[in-house]
Chain A
Amino acid sequence: MSSVIRIDAVTKRFGSVAAVDGVSLDIFENEFIALLGASGCGKTTLLRIVAGLEHPDTGRIFIDGKDMTGEAPYARPVNMMFQSYALFPHMTVAGNVAFGLKQDGLSGAALEERVKDALVAVEMAGLGERKPHQLSGGQRQRVALARCLAKRPRVLLLDEPMAALDKHLRERTQLELMALRARLGITFVVVTHDQSEAMAMADRVAVMDGGRILQVDTPRNIYERPANARVAGFFGDINLWSAVVGDRPGTVRVPALGFEMPTRGLLPPSGTAVSVAVRPERIAMSRAPLSGAEHAVTGTVQETVYLGTASTCFVKTQAGGTVRVLAPHADGASAFNKGETVHLSWPSTAVTVLDA
């Protein structure tokens, strides 16, 4: 597989702060990649560097194998959808879409055809004569998307595309973006702070923090095998405890839970400080003591948060630690109440041991 975009050891500083700190990343043909991170992690700066709106202090940007580091934005075969959409307020919808094509010297029937195609692709065909201020937020987003698509870019860069949409519209737009990408065969790079959005849409996710990429992998691999505690904490809900590798082989001692936990896989030598992670949905919770479980913890329900399909329960263990448990409502069992004594257990395959 050949990379469409190669980001090679790129660093960008604003004053003394490195917004992007020595990032390297290959983005492949037809891929949908998400740059995920909290605000200020450098993901938008990295996207703007690819677009040519910022210039890196060191490092290089290759597009289709060509060094584009010093090229202006208008010379790059990539297009960006801005978080604010940045529609031209004095132009109609059709005028906005035509703008980029006119820069390529298109005119007349050919121009009209391309504008129409782009508007049809985002289901805005009838609204070409409207002005941006006459559109809803969702419609504006479609225009911004059509304006990029009309240029038939090699790579489409999307900066927080869903940030201004409500939850319902967001899910629909996610599906539409994925369908569009399957149909057009364009490489998508999307910047988002929403891990569920990244998980739902992307083939690969690059988790960023402090200007660096912590892990790049498929959503499933990142969720199930996070590279470190920071990734684990950022990507979905998780229980993270500090622990020490136990004396018995294959176990770690978790002070917050007050017992030694068997794990799978290789462990560092005994006595090493590590972090232990367990996803809330892997933990079984019951009122009766569990027989035959690999290991169990007893605790008191401190708080429950009703989520519809499930409840999140925070259970305080006798050793003083708190365990987050996702208790499904599917089996029709009555929901757990505050103050109840419960027994928790999980298989050793649910335990991920990470560097401290």
Chain B
Amino acid sequence: MSRPYFTETWRRRMVLALPWLWAALFFLLPLAFVVKISLAEARMSVPPYTDLLARVDGAVVGLNATLANYQLLFSDALYVKAYLSSLKIALVATAFTLLLGYPMAYAIARAPAARRTLLLVLVMLPFWTSFLVRIYAWMGLLRPTGIINTALQTLGLIDEPLAMLNTPGAVYLGIVYAYLPFMVLPLYARLEKLDPALLEAAADLGARPWRAFREVTLPLSLPGVLAGCLLVFIPVTGEFVIPDLLGGPDTLMIGKVLWNEFFSNRDWPMSAAVTVVLLIVLVAPIMLFQALQSRTEIRS
């Protein structure tokens, strides 16, 4: 019998090495750079921040790190308000997406098998068009001289154009529109797997449809609800295109603040600090999600 070229343990390690390498190269390394920049000071130079290592004649003599950026972040009401406002917008938008997405996912999962593929393709169809173009399209619809206002005025339903663009409502509309598929797909995946016999058993045991939904379908679809909510909540918290294009001057979101710090103020260390704090704010719910998932322990 010939010995295997590599032992089982080594083969397993090599397989695992690939995702680790990927994470190290494309996540941990860039993150380390961002953290490093966030501890530096802004400077008019290339690159536009101070060196973290204090050098005298090329020799390293000490560390030049400062927490000033973080101190400013927490003392300046603008940043705190931007974070809170982002979280609020993300939370409300996620709730709307869930309310709209759940019935959609449920309907698709209950549709005849032949029709499901078509419905799923329709849900994903907007992805074929650029995200930016779709948001511009909403601007075209919502602006005072846009299609909706023109149509309503022509019909004589309104005298003055409705202020729809650059309002909080437009921001929510844009977010719900853009992120709906991310809610529908994980929910559908979960609901489609649900054994129809469970609902039949519930009915047979005396449960009316609404109670069967509440006590069987809903609890069993919770992992899908959680996955969908995170897939929407996390990117929406950092969203800056939609609030920038559809929101008004009073729509405050941390993504917009970040954009301004980086491109308008060229303050790399400050924007790096904003990023690091945003990351922490977003990682917290993921940790919560994993803790919840290991607790629910729904395995079939």
Q: Which residue of B203, B216, B297, B299 contacts A88 across the interface (Cβ within 8 Å)?
A: B216
Among B202, B206, B300, chain A packs the most CB atoms within 10 A around the CB of B206
Q: Please, which residues of chain B bring their CB within 8 A of the CB of A131?
A: 297
Chain B 174-203 against A: per-residue CB contact (8 Å), 1 yes, 0 no? 000000000000000000000101101111
Q: Which residue of B197, B204, B220 contacts A84 across the interface (Cβ within 8 Å)?
A: B197
Nearest-neighbor residue (CB-CB) of A150 within chain B: B205
- Min CB distance, B98 to chain A, in Å? 20
Chain A 84-105 against B: per-residue CB contact (8 Å), 1 yes, 0 no? 1011111000000001100110
- State A104–B207 Cα separation when bound (angstroms): 9
Find out whether the CB atom of B204 lies under 8 angstroms from the CB atom of A90: no
Would you call A122 an interface residue if the criterion is a C-beta within 8 Å of the partner chain's C-beta atoms?
no
Find out whether the CB atom of B206 lies under 8 angstroms from the CB atom of A100: yes
How many residues of chain A are within 8 Å of chain B by beta carbon?
Answer: 23
Would you call A53 an interface residue if the criterion is a C-beta within 8 Å of the partner chain's C-beta atoms?
yes
- State A169–B208 Cα separation when bound (angstroms): 35
Q: Please, which residues of chain B bring their CB within 8 A of the CB of A104?
A: 206
Q: Which of B204-224 contact A (CB under 8 A)?
A: 204-208, 211, 215-216, 219-220
- State A74–B207 Cα separation when bound (angstroms): 6
Chain A 302-335 against B: per-residue CB contact (8 Å), 1 yes, 0 no? 0000000000000000000000000000000000
What total of A-B pairs shows CB separation below 8 Å? 61
Would you call A28 an interface residue if the criterion is a C-beta within 8 Å of the partner chain's C-beta atoms?
no
Would you call B298 an interface residue if the criterion is a C-beta within 8 Å of the partner chain's C-beta atoms?
yes
- State A89–B215 Cα separation when bound (angstroms): 12
- Min CB distance, A72 to chain B, in Å? 7
Known interface pairs A74-B208, A99-B207, A103-B207; A89-B300 also in contact (CB < 8 Å): yes
- Min CB distance, B253 to chain A, in Å? 37
- Min CB distance, B193 to chain A, in Å? 11
Nearest-neighbor residue (CB-CB) of B200 within chain A: A53
Find out whether the CB atom of A82 lies under 8 angstroms from the CB atom of B203: no
Find out whether the CB atom of A79 lies under 8 angstroms from the CB atom of B205: yes
Find out whether the CB atom of B195 lies under 8 angstroms from the CB atom of A84: yes
Q: Which of B55-85 contact A (CB under 8 A)?
A: none
Q: Please, which residues of chain B bring their CB within 8 A of the CB of A82?
A: 197, 200-201
- State A242–B201 Cα separation when bound (angstroms): 47
Q: Which residue of A51, A84, A90, A103 contacts B206 across the interface (Cβ within 8 Å)?
A: A103
- State A136–B260 Cα separation when bound (angstroms): 61
Q: Please, which residues of chain A bring their CB within 8 A of the CB of B220?
A: 89-90
- Min CB distance, B295 to chain A, in Å? 12
- State A72–B205 Cα separation when bound (angstroms): 11
Q: Which residue of A73, A88, A89 contacts B204 across the interface (Cβ within 8 Å)?
A: A73
Q: Please, which residues of chain A bring their CB within 8 A of the CB of B206?
A: 74, 100, 103-104, 151
Would you call A13 an interface residue if the criterion is a C-beta within 8 Å of the partner chain's C-beta atoms?
no
Find out whether the CB atom of B215 lies under 8 angstroms from the CB atom of A133: no
Find out whether the CB atom of B300 lies under 8 angstroms from the CB atom of A79: no
Among B200, B203, B204, B208, chain A packs the most CB atoms within 10 A around the CB of B204
Question: 9 interchain pairs (CB within 8 A)?
Answer: A72-B208, A82-B200, A84-B195, A84-B197, A86-B195, A87-B201, A99-B215, A100-B207, A103-B206
Residues of B within 8 A of A (CB): 195, 197-198, 200-208, 211, 215-216, 219-220, 297-300
